[in-house]
Chain A
C-alpha cells in the first residue's frame, strides 16, 4: 500500500517559522484533517504538500521515494483546492470546467458528471459572474471530479457551502476514498470523514522566541 508521508518538516514564511518538526502519513484511502487556530500553518502545510512551497527542512515522500526527485509525477497525481476559486467570471460554468478538464488532465472526461455531483448541472450555461459565492465554491470543487487524481488537498473546502452541498462533498470524499484516493483537508467545519486522522498543528508551533536573535 502506497504511503504519502512527510518527515520532520519545517516551514518558514518570510522571516517567521510557521511550524517545525512536523511529520504525517496518509495511506491509500486515508484522510487527514488539519486542525489548529488561524495562522498555525494549515494552508502552508497544504501548499507544501502540493509542492507550491518548499520545506526549509525535512522531506515529502510518495511510496518511499522523495517527491522532490520527480515533481512532475507528483503534480500529475494531486488536485489542490486553495482559498481562491480560479473561476473566470466571463466564461460559463461549463466552459470554466471544460478548460480545467483539458488543462489538468486527459480531456473533457467527466464534465457533465462533475456538474451533476456538485449540483451545478442546471447552471452549466450560466456565466460564472452570475453565481453566488457558494456556487462558485461548488464550481471550484467540481474540478476535483473532472480528472482522476489520487491526492486531494483541500483548503477550507466548505466555505460558503450550504448543508446540501456539504452533504454532496462528503459523499464525493467517501467515493474518492473508496476508490483508493486520499484526502488532506483543512477545515473549521465538522466534516464527516470516517476513520480520518487528526493532525493538530498547534502541537508543532515553534517556541515563541525561536525566531529572535539574541541582542
Chain B
C-alpha cells in the first residue's frame, strides 16, 4: 500500500524532472514577481524591509497556486486517474503521495529561492531562520489544501480560474501566521507561537485534505 503510494510519488518526481520547464516556471515566477516590487515601490530600505515578509509569502502563495491546476489534470486527461481510483491502495494515500511530489517540485524550490529574495529586501540574518522555518511548515499545507481545489475543479471548464477562488480563502491562515512569524522575529519577539500554529495547520491538513480531495476525484472520474 505504502509501496504503491511511494511509486506514485516517484513517478511524479520523474515526470517533473523530465519536464523541467513546468517546475522551473514556478520558481522563476516567484523570483521575478518578488523582484518587481522594489522596482515599483522604490528602493527605500525601510519600506522594503517592512513589506518583505508579506511580499515573500504572497508571492510564494501565488507561485504554488499557479502550479495547482496541473496537479491532477494530466492524469485526468490521459486516463491514469481512473486507474488510480481503481487501484487497491486507498485513494487518499495516493493523493498524499501526489501532494508530496507536488511540494518537492514547487514548495521546496520556492523555499530554496526565498533567501535570495530576502537578501534583495535587506532582511536581517536573524529573520532568515524563522522565514525558512515558517515556509517549511506552511508550504506543505499549501500543496495539501490546494489539492482539494484542484480535485474539485477537474472536468470543469475554465477550472484554472476556479482554483484560486476556491483555494485562496483557505490559504489565509497560512499566510497570516507565516507573515507574523517573520514579523515577530524582526521585532525581536519569539516566532515560536506562530510556527507552532503553522505546524498545527499542517497537522490538520495532513489527514483531512487527502480525504476531501479523494472524494472530489471520485466525483470527477464518474
Check if B86 sits within 8 Å of A51, measured CB to CB. Answer: yes
Cβ proximity bits B74-108 to A, threshold 8 Å, 1 near / 0 not: 00011110111111111000100000000000000
For residue B4, CB closer than 8 A to chain A, the reply is yes
A75 vs B84: C-alpha distance when bound (angstroms) = 10
Check if B87 sits within 8 Å of A104, measured CB to CB. Answer: yes
Known: A53-B222, A80-B86. Is A90-B4 also a contact (CB below 8 A)? no
For residue A76, CB closer than 8 A to chain B, the reply is yes
Contacts of A99 in B (CB 8 A): 7-8, 11
For residue A7, CB closer than 8 A to chain B, the reply is no
- Chain B nearest CB from A110 CB (Å) reads 16
Besides A90-B15, A98-B7, A99-B7, 8 other A-B contacts (C-beta < 8 A) = A52-B85, A80-B82, A84-B77, A85-B78, A86-B79, A86-B82, A102-B4, A143-B83
Contacts of A83 in B (CB 8 A): 79
Residue of B78, B79, B94, B222 ringed by the most chain A CB atoms within 10 A: B79
A86's partner among B7, B8, B78, B89 (CB-CB below 8 A) is B78
Interface size on B, residues (CB 8 A): 25
Residue of B nearest to A90 (CB): B18
Check if A85 sits within 8 Å of B222, measured CB to CB. Answer: no
Q: Could you count the A-B residue pairs with CB atoms below 8 Å apart for me: how many are there?
A: 70
Contacts of A95 in B (CB 8 A): 11, 14
Show the binding face of A for B, using Cβ within 8 Å: 50-54, 72, 75-76, 78, 80, 82-88, 90-91, 95, 98-100, 102-105, 107, 143
Check if B79 sits within 8 Å of A102, measured CB to CB. Answer: no
Known: A52-B221, A86-B78. Is A91-B11 also a contact (CB below 8 A)? yes
> Lowest 5 CB-CB distances: which A-B pairs, in order?
A84-B79, A102-B7, A86-B79, A76-B88, A90-B18
Check if B86 sits within 8 Å of A91, measured CB to CB. Answer: no
Check if A75 sits within 8 Å of B80, measured CB to CB. Answer: no
For residue B19, CB closer than 8 A to chain A, the reply is yes
A–B pairs, 30, beta carbons within 8 Å: A51-B86, A52-B85, A52-B86, A52-B222, A53-B222, A72-B90, A75-B86, A75-B87, A75-B88, A82-B79, A82-B82, A83-B79, A84-B77, A84-B82, A85-B79, A86-B80, A87-B78, A88-B78, A88-B80, A90-B19, A91-B18, A95-B14, A98-B7, A102-B3, A102-B4, A103-B4, A103-B83, A104-B87, A104-B88, A143-B83
